[in-house]
């Protein structure tokens, strides 16, 4: 999974070729009435698969194959597959930039998700599960890179706040649907995988059939060395670099914990009598989703109204640290409920406002999709490291308390990283 930076605008970016990027410069035509709901559907479907597969079914499948070493194996699979997410997101973004089209990449990535999910369900060894989920991550990030580039292409600056809300709300909605669907298929994860693949494919068909796309000017191919230099060039920009670091730190802490949620409920939390861990996930994720939806809308609105992005990003990261401290001091079910609610409030507000902040520090408008893909490395890259770090911490400490403490410290560091940003209040 590569958490999406919605690419909801490029305010503050300098359009080095306005003719090549009319949307990024704010000259896009008014979007059709159906675009925002379709963006919500497309984003929700994406997170439904990411959470339902990566957070529920995959953990159950790994436990089914090797219950003794499930933590280490799950960490290995999650880490290796995240490499594919890290690579394919910016590469797919650059390729769709070159082609001047988004819809074919959205449809192609989603269509490939179905056979990838079939292969994942058929895998019966850790090696085959790893290969299949790597393939799933690759094709889903083709879909994600193109979908998140639709907004700067087709939405004028004046309407990008609404578009940001539409894309951002896909996270809590998709997370809730993914957890509920994953729990419903906990006894038949092979069928569950196909259901998730079908959800994404259906959303892509609906989106591409109902949205009209105007081909953007094609981009000339660059030599490989020039492409690599272009990917890293954005990180030489002072504000973009600090935004990248802050996002990476918070995401690292977030996924160190959330990736192991099912195992935490199995081995750390004292659940009510009769409640299974899969049922607990189906309770926690909707709670987190509702809190996230509220804070996404409220945080975005207030940060717009007060014109204070850094304040909200820093405060949200500190609130996330507070949430992570709750299950560190208590293993009760009540503590996990409090953690789910507070962490949802923190993460929803953080992602909504931090994405808005990032769109204001993009180095150039012309390469918005590519640079947002670079930022998504800050989303996907820590997911490579997080499972390994988490598995080592759990193995060495003999439990999950230390994991919560380390994750909280990373959230605090993420809050401090926004302070050096100069171009945004």
Listed as ranges, residues in the chain with pLDDT below 50 are 5-27
Structural tokens at position 136: 């799933």
348-377 confidence digits (pLDDT tens): 888 878 877 877 777 765 565 566 667 777
pLDDT score, position 7: 41
With respect to residue 347, please indicate whether it lies within any of the assigned structural domains.
Answer: yes
Domain count, the chain: 1
With respect to residue 224, please indicate whether it lies within any of the assigned structural domains.
Answer: yes
With respect to residue 11, please indicate whether it lies within any of the assigned structural domains.
Answer: no
Query: DSSP labels for 259-270?
Result: TTHHHHHHHT-B
> From the CB of residue 63, how many other CB atoms can be counted at a distance below 10 Å?
18
296-309 confidence digits (pLDDT tens): 888 877 877 887 88
**Residue 360 neighbours by CB under 8 Å, 6+ apart:** 11, 12, 13, 309, 423, 424
Residue 52's domain spans which residues? Answer: 35-417
273-282 confidence digits (pLDDT tens): 999 988 898 8
With respect to residue 9, please indicate whether it lies within any of the assigned structural domains.
Answer: no
175-200 confidence digits (pLDDT tens): 889 988 998 998 898 999 999 999 99
Please provide residue 332's backbone torsions phi and psi, each rounded to the nearest 5 degrees: -80, 160
Q: What is the CATH number of the domain that holds 379?
A: 1.20.1250.20
pLDDT score, position 25: 38
With respect to residue 425, please indicate whether it lies within any of the assigned structural domains.
Answer: no
With respect to residue 23, please indicate whether it lies within any of the assigned structural domains.
Answer: no
119-144 confidence digits (pLDDT tens): 999 999 999 999 999 999 899 989 98
- Quote the mean pLDDT of the chain: 82
Whole-structure pTM over 0.75, yes or no?
A: no
pLDDT score, position 409: 95
With respect to residue 29, please indicate whether it lies within any of the assigned structural domains.
Answer: no
* Spatial distance between the Cα atoms of 300 and 47, rounded to a whole number of angstroms: 20
Calculated CA dihedral for residues 44, 50, 52, 58, nearest 10 degrees? 170
Q: What's the half-sphere exposure (Cβ side, CA atoms, 13 Å) at 288?
A: 28
With respect to residue 276, please indicate whether it lies within any of the assigned structural domains.
Answer: yes
Query: DSSP labels for 201-226?
Result: HHHHHHHHHHS--PPPPPPPP--HHH
Which of these, 107, 179, 178, lies nearest to 139 by C-alpha position?
Answer: 107
């Amino acid at each position: 999974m590569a958490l999406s930076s919605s690419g909801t605008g490029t305010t503050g970016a300098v359009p080095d070729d306005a003719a090549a990027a009319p949307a990024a410069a704010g000259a896009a035509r008014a979007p059709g009435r159906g675009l925002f709901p379709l963006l919500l559907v497309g984003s929700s479907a994406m997170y439904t698969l990411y959470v339902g597969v990566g957070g529920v079914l995959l953990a159950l499948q790994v436990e089914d194959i090797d219950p003794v070493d499930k933590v280490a194996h799950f960490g290995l699979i999650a880490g290796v597959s995240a490499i594919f997410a890290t690579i394919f997101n910016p590469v797919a973004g650059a390729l769709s930039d070159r082609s001047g089209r988004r819809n074919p990449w959205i449809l192609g990535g989603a269509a490939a998700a179905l056979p990838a999910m079939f292969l994942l369900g058929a895998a019966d060894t850790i090696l085959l599960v790893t290969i299949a989920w790597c393939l799933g991550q690759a094709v889903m990030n083709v879909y994600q890179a193109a979908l998140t580039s639709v907004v700067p292409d087709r939405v004028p600056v004046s309407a990008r706040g609404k578009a940001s809300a539409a894309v951002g709300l896909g996270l809590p909605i998709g997370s809730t649907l993914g957890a509920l669907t994953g729990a419903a298929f906990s006894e038949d994860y092979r069928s569950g995988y196909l259901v998730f693949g079908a959800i994404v494919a259906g959303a892509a068909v609906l989106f591409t059939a109902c949205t009209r796309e105007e081909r953007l000017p094609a981009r000339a191919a660059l030599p490989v060395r020039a492409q690599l230099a272009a990917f890293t060039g954005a990180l030489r920009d002072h504000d973009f670099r600090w935004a990248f670091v802050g996002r990476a730190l918070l995401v690292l802490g977030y996924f160190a914990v959330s990736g192991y949620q099912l195992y935490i409920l199995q081995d750390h939390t004292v659940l009510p009598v009769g409640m299974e861990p899969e049922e607990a996930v189906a309770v926690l994720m909707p709670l987190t989703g509702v809190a996230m939806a509220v804070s996404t809308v409220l945080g975005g609105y207030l940060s717009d109204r007060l014109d204070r992005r850094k304040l909200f990003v820093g405060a949200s990261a500190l609130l996330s640290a507070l949430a992570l401290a709750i299950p560190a001091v208590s293993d009760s079910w009540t503590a996990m409920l409090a953690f789910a609610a507070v962490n949802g409030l923190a993460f929803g507000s953080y992602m909504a406002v931090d994405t808005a902040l990032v769109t204001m520090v993009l180095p150039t408008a012309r390469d918005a999709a590519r640079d947002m893909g670079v930022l998504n490395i800050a989303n996907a890259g820590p997911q490579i490291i997080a499972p390994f770090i988490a598995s080592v911490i759990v193995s060495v400490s003999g439990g999950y308390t230390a994991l919560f403490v380390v994750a909280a410290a990373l959230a605090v560091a993420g809050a401090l990283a926004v302070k050096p940003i100069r171009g945004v209040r």
